[in-house]
Amino acid sequence: MTTDIREQAQALYEEGNLYRKQQQWSLALNAYEQAANLDPASPAVHARQMLQQIMDYRCKEYYNP
């Protein structure tokens, strides 16, 4: 893997972090996904998994009368 690809993956990971801080969830997930596709060892893989788990969480008590 070339340095350019790692740098691109790192830049996308950081972009994802910015989107996450701005609560732009879909943009953050997309940036993390792109980074993970470029570099499977990128921290974006873990960040995407964590964000997806947060978005998938559903408190059943809120939906049952």
Say whether 17 sits in a helix, a strand or coil.
helix
pLDDT of residue 64: 63
- Please check the confidence at residue 46 and state whether its pLDDT lies above 90: yes
State the total domains in the chain: 1
Q: How far apart are the first and last CA of the chain?
A: 54
> Which residues constitute the domain of residue 51?
3-62
* Alpha carbon separation from 27 to 4, 12, 60 (Å, rounded): 22, 11, 27
* Residues 16-34: tens digit of each pLDDT: 999 999 999 999 999 999 9
Q: What is the pTM of this model?
A: 0.84
Confidence grade of residue 65 (pLDDT, cut at 50, 70, 90): low
Distance CA 34, CA 16 (A): 10
C-alpha span between 22 and 50 (Å, rounded): 16
The domain that contains 17 carries what CATH number? 1.25.40.10
